[in-house]
Each structure stands twice: as structure tokens, then as C-alpha cells.
């Protein structure tokens, strides 16, 4: 029996999610349109970018590309989400601790792992788990766990089909179709909140994010993010179209050779809710927004250390996280600090700062090995292209969280990261993202050498 392809399932799911979110948050639809206009323009005017994306197989995926984010409340919810996403070929990669940034969660990203699977559908979901131990009021912490224990965020059918997929090793087309529709239900927005307005306010007072996680029937998708090739144009385009962007673009500054990830978002919307515990009471909730990202090359451990150092220096220079008042100053210092970060693909490669795919451009007349790569590149027998960064950045993620939390989003948490606890709740280990880029680079070098040596 040939099962329906998990990559196809993920692509369908991502499309359904995007359609649903465009209906729920029409401004997101405007953003998708803006991004698609900007990308078309870049591809029409920058043949080098187009060629690079063609070579790495990323071009067809560009219009599909997006990530989403959800926040769950319990170990049961997290470990079940892991099982559900696995059916669609999405696995936990990386550990992000947001507590140092004042957000009471830790997170991972569910995504595809292989280069081919990523090119078929790069859809990823940033998934955060509430850290109950950061709720300092004991009675409230108790109420939170009781409230969360009462809810079931998955439909009965989604759970049945997940089990079926696990037992059989996959799903047939009809089941796969039903599965993606059933799973979508978990992420739908519900205007009705199962708790009372009074409890909502207590939770909100602890942290806005706690109210967002505990106050609803399920982990509504809180944003979706298309990928753009020119984030600065999208940022200014948003203002022209009357969409209010957050103050600063997170991540590295504008560069000739983009690294890692740059992100911006539009502010969360204030939405009507009805609290239903103990009678119906109207209220407001602010959580859902839209985001845009521009992805660059994945950097090595050394490249990441340099990135972290320059970013920390920039933030230290302005006294912490950037805000509306010091935005221009921040951008100026950021660009200045990053002027020492090599900005040609050649230098990034030579200094072992980034990961690349290698492509043979012919055959060699003698047997060649890895050590010959620099010479082969110089001779034009090998070309290389950046491996795109598929993951996230904790400082940027914190900035995205914060920009949507408003003033009382600033909290101080004095607690260590706890990847072990996170993995216990998840019921699995998270894969180290660097090992994946390393592997992709190695495989591409091996394949490239095989062609050069006439073995393929």
C-alpha cells in the first residue's frame, strides 16, 4: 500500500490554514497580496536572486512559503500536537527559551527536515508551551491547570486518524483529506471564551499571554507569515496601504548577502470575545496579527556566535530592546556593528560562517576530494549557493511576542532554560538545527564530488 505523501498533506494543510486565516483576519490577505507583488518585482529585476532560487529548488516554494505560531497549555497538548504534526512530516527542531525575554513559555518549531521535503512544502509552526511554574500566584496556578485539564483541543476524528496513521504507517488519500480538515479545527478562532471575565482578567494581570493560552477553547493560530525577498519594501508598503507595522525589523540589518532571518509584523487586532462561564459577558482580546519574513543563509556555530555578539552589542549600546523613540538610532548602530560581518558569499564560505549547497558544473580529469573544493570553485567546476535558514531567532521571536503584548508584556523571570523539561512534555527530543544544515551541506558535497569523479 502506498500512503498519501506527508509532504502533500502538509502543503494542503498550509493552504487550508492560510485560507482560514485570511477569512478570520482579512488584513492578513492584504499582506499576502503585498508580499506577492514585492516578490514578483524582485524576481523581475534581480536575475541573480532568481537564478539562485532556481538552483537551490526554492523558487516554486516561494509562493507557498509561510510559518505560523501557536501556544499550548499542557504537556498532553504538546505531545499530541507532536504526534499530529508527525503525520504531515513535521518534526520538532530546536529549543527556544523565551523566559529571559519576559515571556512565560518555551518553544520548538515543527517542520520538515530533508531538503526535498522542505522544497515541496516548507510550512512550519512555531509552538510554545506555557511554563506553569512562572505563574507566581499559587491559587491561580491551580486554577490554570484545572481549566486546561478540562479542555480537549483536538477533534475526536483527528485523534482517531492520528492513531490510524501511526498504526498503519500512513493514511490513504481519503483519510488524509479528512485528517487535514479535522486538524485545522484545532487552530480556529473562537469568539466564545469558556472562562469568566473575572478569571480572564486575573490571568491577563499575570501575563497577557497566559490569558491568551488559558482563556480559549484551543490554540488559535495567532499569526501566519509569508516569505518575502525584500522586507524593507514590504515594511514601507504596509505603511502606504494603511497597515501599521511594528517599529523595527527584527534580526540582522539589510545586507548584500542576507543571513538568517529578518522579520516584521503588523500590530495585533483588538477583537470581541464573549466570556461564557457564569453568564455571558462581552469583552475584548488582542492576540492575532500578521508577520512577514525574509530568509537568508543558515550560519554555522561560528557565524551564529558573531551574529549574537553584534546584536548584543547593538542592544547594549541603546540600553536594551529597541522602541519607537530610538528606532533610527538602533538601525544606525545595527548597520555599523554589522559592517564587520563579511558580506560576500565567497567570504562567508571561506571563513566557515555559513552553509552552502554545492553543484558540479562538469567532470574533473583527476580524482578530487573535499580538499580540492576551493580550487574547483576557482576553476568554475563547482558552484555553490546558500542553504536557506529554516529556523527562528529567540531575540527576534521575543520582539515579535512583545510588540503584540503591549505595556504589561514586560516581565522579569528569573529562571533557567529547561530543555529537558520541555522534551519530557513533548515526549521526544528536539533535533539540533545546526546538525541538519551540516548534514545537508555534507550530502551536497558528496553528491557534487561523485559527479566530478564520474561516479554518478
* Window of 38-46, 191-199, 302-310, 396-404 that interacts with ligand OOG by CB under 6 A: 396-404
Please, which residues bridge with residue 320 across strands? Answer: none
d(CA 431, CA 114): 13
Our finding on whether 109 is near ligand OOG (CB under 6 A) is no
Give the strand order in the sheet containing 270-275.
192-193, 270-275, 281-286
The DSSP line for 127-155 is EEEE-GGG---HHHHHHHHHHHHH---S-
Could you say which of 123, 126, 358, 389 contacts ligand OOG (CB under 6 A)?
Answer: 126
| Integer Rg of the chain from CA | 23
CB-based closest residue to ligand OOG? 397
Within 301-355, where are the H helices?
A: 301-318, 327-337, 345-350
Min dist. Cβ of residue 286 to ligand OOG (A): 12
Shortest spacing between CB 38 and ligand OOG, in angstroms:
19
Closer residue to ligand OOG in complex, CB, 120/223: 223
Site string for ligand OOG, 291-330 (x = CB under 6 A): x---------------------------------------
Per CB under 6 A, 61 contacts ligand OOG: no
Q: Specify whether the CB–CB gap between 125 and 110 falls below 8 A.
A: yes
Rounded-to-integer distance, Cα 65 and Cα 53, Å: 13
Say what angle helices 156-168 and 75-87 make with each other, to 10 degrees: 60
Considering beta carbons, is residue 69 or 180 the nearer one to Ni ion? Answer: 69
Binding mask 70-89 for ligand OOG (x = CB under 6 A): -x------------------
Pick the stretch among 142-150, 199-207, 276-284, 392-400 that binds ligand OOG (CB under 6 A): 392-400
Residue 19, C-alpha cell as written in the block: 485560507
For the bound state, the minimum distance from the C-beta of residue 94 to Ni ion, rounded and expressed in Å, comes to 14
Site string for Ni ion, 245-284 (x = CB under 5 A): ----------------------------------------
Task: Candidates 1-9, 295-303, 393-401, 447-455: pick the segment binding ligand OOG (CB under 6 A).
Answer: 393-401
**Least distance to ligand OOG from the beta carbon of 235, Å?**
15
How far is 246 from 399, CA to CA, in rounded Å? Answer: 9
Distances in Å between the alpha carbon of 200 and those of 64, 193, 275, 407, 426? 36, 9, 8, 17, 27
- Which of ligand OOG, Ni ion, none does residue 80 bind (CB under 5 to 8 Å by kind)? none
Sign of torsion over alpha carbons 164, 124, 73, 21: negative
C-alpha cell at 141: 496556578
Look-up: residue for cell 558569499? 345
* The only residue of 74, 115, 222, 326 in contact with ligand OOG, by rule CB under 6 A: 222
User: Using CB under 6 A, which of 121, 162, 263, 441 touches ligand OOG?
Assistant: 263
- Separation of alpha carbons 445 and 321, rounded Å: 40
Q: How far apart are CA 67 and CA 36, in angstroms?
A: 15
Q: Which of 11, 69, 448, 449 binds ligand OOG (CB under 6 A)?
A: 69
Residue 397 contacts ligand OOG per CB under 6 A: yes
The residues that bridge with 271 in the sheet, in sequence order, are 285
Q: Are 452 and 171 in contact (CB under 8 A)?
A: no
Cβ 394 to ligand OOG shortest distance, Å: 8
Angle between helix axes 75-87 and 419-426 (nearest 10 degrees) is 60
Interface pattern 402-431 for ligand OOG (x via CB under 6 A): ------------------------------
Closest to Ni ion by CB, 107 or 193: 107
How far is Cα 445 from Cα 439, in angstroms, rounded to an integer? 10
Binding mask 279-318 for Ni ion (x = CB under 5 A): ------------x---------------------------
- The residue ranges that bind Ni ion (CB under 5 A) are 69, 225, 291
Q: Which residues of the shown chain bind ligand OOG in the complex (CB under 6 A)?
A: 69, 71, 126, 128, 222, 263, 291, 392, 396-397, 400-401
Amino acid at each position: 500500500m502506498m500512503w498519501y505523501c506527508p509532504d502533500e498533506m502538509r502543503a494542503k494543510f498550509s493552504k487550508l490554514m492560510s485560507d482560514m486565516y485570511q477569512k478570520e483576519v482579512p488584513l492578513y490577505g492584504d499582506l499576502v497580496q503585498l508580499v506577492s507583488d514585492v516578490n514578483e518585482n524582485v524576481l523581475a529585476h534581480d536575475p541573480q536572486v532568481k537564478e539562485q532560487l532556481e538552483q537551490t529548488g526554492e523558487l516554486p516554494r516561494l509562493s507557498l512559503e509561510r510559518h505560523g505560531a501557536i501556544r499550548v497549555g499542557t504537556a498532553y497538548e504538546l505531545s499530541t500536537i507532536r504526534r499530529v504534526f508527525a503525520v504531515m512530516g513535521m518534526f520538532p527542531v530546536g529549543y527556544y527559551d523565551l523566559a529571559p525575554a519576559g515571556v512565560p513559555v518555551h518553544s520548538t518549531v515543527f517542520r520538515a527536515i530533508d531538503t526535498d521535503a522542505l522544497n515541496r512544502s516548507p510550512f512550519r509552526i512555531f509552538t510554545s508551551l506555557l511554563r506553569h511554574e512562572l505563574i507566581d500566584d499559587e491559587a491561580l496556578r491551580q486554577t490554570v491547570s484545572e481549566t486546561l485539564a478540562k479542555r480537549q483541543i483536538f477533534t475526536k476524528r483527528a485523534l482517531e486518524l492520528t492513531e490510524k496513521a501511526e498504526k498503519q504507517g500512513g493514511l490513504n488519500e481519503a483519510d488524509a483529506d479528512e485528517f487535514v480538515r479535522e486538524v485545522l479545527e484545532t487552530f480556529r478562532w473562537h469568539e466564545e471564551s469558556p472562562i469568566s471575565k473575572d478569571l480572564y482578567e486575573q490571568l491577563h494581570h499575570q501575563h497577557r499571554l497566559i490569558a491568551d493560552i488559558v482563556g480559549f477553547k484551543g490554540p488559535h493560530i495567532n499569526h501566519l507569515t509569508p516569505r518575502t525577498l525584500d522586507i524593507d519594501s514590504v515594511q514601507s508598503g504596509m505603511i502606504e496601504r494603511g497597515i501599521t507595522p511594528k517599529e523595527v525589523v527584527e534580526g540582522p540589518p539589510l545586507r548584500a548577502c542576507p543571513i538568517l532571518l529578518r522579520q516584521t509584523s503588523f500590530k495585533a487586532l483588538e477583537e470581541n470575545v464573549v466570556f461564557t462561564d457564569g453568564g455571558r459577558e462581552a469583552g475584548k482580546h488582542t492576540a492575532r496579527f500578521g508577520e512577514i519574513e525574509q530568509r537568508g543563509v543558515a550560519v554555522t556555530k561560528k557565524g551564529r556566535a558573531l551574529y549574537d555578539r553584534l546584536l548584543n552589542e547593538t542592544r547594549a549600546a541603546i540600553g536594551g530592546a529597541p522602541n519607537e523613540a530610538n528606532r533610527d538610532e538602533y538601525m544606525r548602530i545595527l548597520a555599523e556593528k554589522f559592517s564587520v560581518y563579511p558580506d560576500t558569499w565567497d567570504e562567508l564560505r571561506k571563513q566557515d560562517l555559513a552553509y552552502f549547497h554545492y553543484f558540479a558544473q562538469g567532470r574533473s580529469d583527476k580524482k578530487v576530494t573535499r580538499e580540492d573544493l576551493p580550487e574547483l570553485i576557482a576553476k568554475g567546476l563547482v558552484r555553490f549557493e546558500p542553504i536557506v535558514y529554516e529556523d527562528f531567532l529567540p531575540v527576534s521571536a521575543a520582539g515579535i511576542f512583545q510588540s503584540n503584548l503591549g505595556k504589561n508584556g514586560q516581565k522579569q523571570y528569573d529562571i533557567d532554560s529547561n530543555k529537558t523539561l520541555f522534551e519530557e512534555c513533548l515526549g521526544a527530543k528536539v533535533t539540533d538545527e545546526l546538525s541538519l544544515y551540516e548534514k545537508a551541506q555534507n550530502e551536497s558535497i558528496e553528491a557534487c564530488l561523485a559527479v566530478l569523479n564520474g561516479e554518478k
